Amino acid sequence: MERINPFNNALKQLKESIAYLGLDEEYYRRLSTPEHIIEHPVTIVMDSGESKTFQGYRVQFNNALGPYKGGIRFHPLANIEEVKTLAFLMALKCAVVNIPMGGGKGGVQVNPKNLSAEELERLSRAWVKVFFHDIGPDRDIPAPDMYTNPQIMAWMADEYSKLAGHYTPASFTGKPVDKDGSEGREFATSQGGFYALTELVKKMGMQTGKIRVVIQGFGNVGYHAARILHEHGYKVVAVSDSRGGIYVEQGFNPDHVMQAKRERGVLVNAYCHGTVCDNIEHKKITNKELLELECDILIPAALENQITEKNADKIKARAVVELANGAITPEADTILDQKRIPVVPDVLANAGGVVVSYFEWQQNLENKKWTERKVLNKLEKIIKKEFNNIWIISRDKKVNLRTAAFILGIGRLVKAIKR
């Protein structure tokens, strides 16, 4: 896939919403400019004894609603434009789900697959050392993102606590449950997406037992989305990872695929080798083919810029739920609108992660532990309420759901800036 400057896409959408809200140009300038762009080299000693330096980033976009909040991504292609865009989307996302948090994002340009577990721990701790004065429970609270996970957050919170001189679990969210993480955080992004999807399905009059779902990506978000949907009677017919995907006409249990992937490493080689699905007809497909499959719901849950002007016309899904950040470009949005394919945009579809991160932060600050039921009930209420708010704006103003979400979020941000 080509690299498209994702920040320009976000700005285009911001400009449109400012115009819809009839706001002064000044708000465009204010909301298109990150408050802090921080870059530090992060140096670690490799297992070989040599030193190696990686580029580290943190962008603090806007804190009008509360402390900056957003993930840290370890990825070979991580760069400042991408981190800026994701930080902007975090500010908007927190506003869309109406939580008192601002937008931030971080990254390290590194391929974590090339690091040993010890090197990964050293890198995580080194990131905290160099960014220590920029973050903190009242200032900026990072969380996991692509190729970072609860264990990495535990190392980071531990390092932060050492440097602060006291135990500070509220410095990072997305930690393991036994290290002051929240119940439900691991699958919160997918669970939130599921709540949004169920509202959309109701509006579109689809019948649960017959809904065919295709999911791109089989990491944290993609796998849990597949698992939750399967558990609720949806038919998951295709999933993929970076090496390609599988398609099974009659649907399959994602847990069987996950088990086989864990045993064999790669999804396309994992399926149907002595597992329960040996007798089921299945097909290996490319990621390009997966996106163009006939289905009811398509869920991009891997990378940005997957549905562009080049393939949007070939999308055959009846609706798209954008779990990955920035998976659809503005040009593709226009084409999907023309094809009358509704899109639940990333800022709502994947906001479950930040909502439960906010719950984790609250629990840490109050030294409390909520049950999974309590976490999920509160999450469900928020996502369903904001989905319906966005739906109403979209009908009233005759705009798509993304523009409606921007109108809702930008409206709340501007109100916070004015106070």
State the catalytic residues: 105
**242 binding ligand NAD? (CB under 6 A):** yes
Taking the least distance from each CB to ligand NAD, the nearer of 27 and 247 is 247
Segment lying near ligand NAD (by CB under 6 A), choices 128-136, 227-235, 240-248, 362-370: 240-248
- 321 forms beta bridges with 344
Q: Strand order of the sheet with strand 102-109?
A: 36-45, 51-62, 102-109, 68-75, 140-144
**Is 379 in contact with 188 (CB distance < 8 Å)?**
yes
CB of 293 to ligand NAD, least distance (A): 14
Taking the least distance from each CB to ligand NAD, the nearer of 18 and 225 is 225
In three-state secondary structure terms, 284 is strand
CB of 146 to ligand NAD, least distance (A): 4
CB of 331 to ligand NAD, least distance (A): 19
Q: Is the dihedral of CA 331, 336, 338, 343 positive or negative?
A: negative
Indicate which single residue of 60, 191, 350, 364 sits in contact with ligand NAD (rule: CB under 6 A).
Answer: 350
Indicate which single residue of 303, 317, 347, 390 sits in contact with ligand NAD (rule: CB under 6 A).
Answer: 303
Q: Which residues contact 393 (CB under 8 A, 6 or more apart)?
A: 399, 404, 407, 408
Joined together, the tokens standing for residue 250 give 């009659």
Segment lying near ligand NAD (by CB under 6 A), choices 7-15, 120-128, 215-223, 310-318: 215-223
CB of 376 to ligand NAD, least distance (A): 15
Report d(CA 277, CA 256) in Å as an integer.
Answer: 8
Taking the least distance from each CB to ligand NAD, the nearer of 134 and 289 is 289
Taking the least distance from each CB to ligand NAD, the nearer of 71 and 342 is 71
Q: How far is CA 44 from CA 47, 119, 125, 328, in A?
A: 10, 8, 9, 36
CA neighbor of 173 nearest in space, from 54, 283, 72, 274: 72
Taking the least distance from each CB to ligand NAD, the nearer of 83 and 393 is 83
Indicate which single residue of 76, 136, 219, 251 sits in contact with ligand NAD (rule: CB under 6 A).
Answer: 219
**216 binding ligand NAD? (CB under 6 A):** yes
- 54 forms beta bridges with 42
Kindly state the number of chain residues that form the binding site for ligand NAD, as judged by CB under 6 A: 24
Segment lying near ligand NAD (by CB under 6 A), choices 96-104, 151-159, 160-168, 211-219: 211-219
**173 binding ligand NAD? (CB under 6 A):** no
**Is 353 in contact with 69 (CB distance < 8 Å)?**
no
**Is 24 in contact with 1 (CB distance < 8 Å)?**
no
Segment lying near ligand NAD (by CB under 6 A), choices 94-102, 219-227, 367-375, 405-413: 219-227
Indicate which single residue of 353, 364, 376, 379 sits in contact with ligand NAD (rule: CB under 6 A).
Answer: 353
Indicate which single residue of 13, 17, 189, 394 sits in contact with ligand NAD (rule: CB under 6 A).
Answer: 189
Joined together, the tokens standing for residue 133 give 């004065």
Q: What is the DSSP letter of 302?
A: S
Joined together, the tokens standing for residue 170 give 């509220």
- Helices then strands, counting H and E runs in the chain, come out as 15, 12
CB of 106 to ligand NAD, least distance (A): 12
For tokens 């004894």, the residue is 49
**187 binding ligand NAD? (CB under 6 A):** no
**270 binding ligand NAD? (CB under 6 A):** no
The tally of CA atoms less than 13 A away on the side-chain side of residue 237 is 19
Q: How far is CA 130 from CA 44, 86, 153, 181, 362, in A?
A: 11, 21, 16, 24, 26
Residues 99-158 that bind ligand NAD (CB under 6 A): 144-147
CB of 49 to ligand NAD, least distance (A): 29
**Is 356 in contact with 184 (CB distance < 8 Å)?**
yes
- 245 forms beta bridges with 240, 285
Which residue has the CB atom at the shortest distance from ligand NAD?
A: 219
CB of 311 to ligand NAD, least distance (A): 13
**72 binding ligand NAD? (CB under 6 A):** no
Report d(CA 301, CA 284) in Å as an integer.
Answer: 19
Segment lying near ligand NAD (by CB under 6 A), choices 39-47, 76-84, 251-259, 298-306: 298-306
Report d(CA 81, CA 208) in Å as an integer.
Answer: 39
CB of 246 to ligand NAD, least distance (A): 13
**302 binding ligand NAD? (CB under 6 A):** yes
Positions that interact with ligand NAD (CB under 6 A): 144-147, 189, 216-222, 240-242, 287, 301-303, 323-325, 350, 353
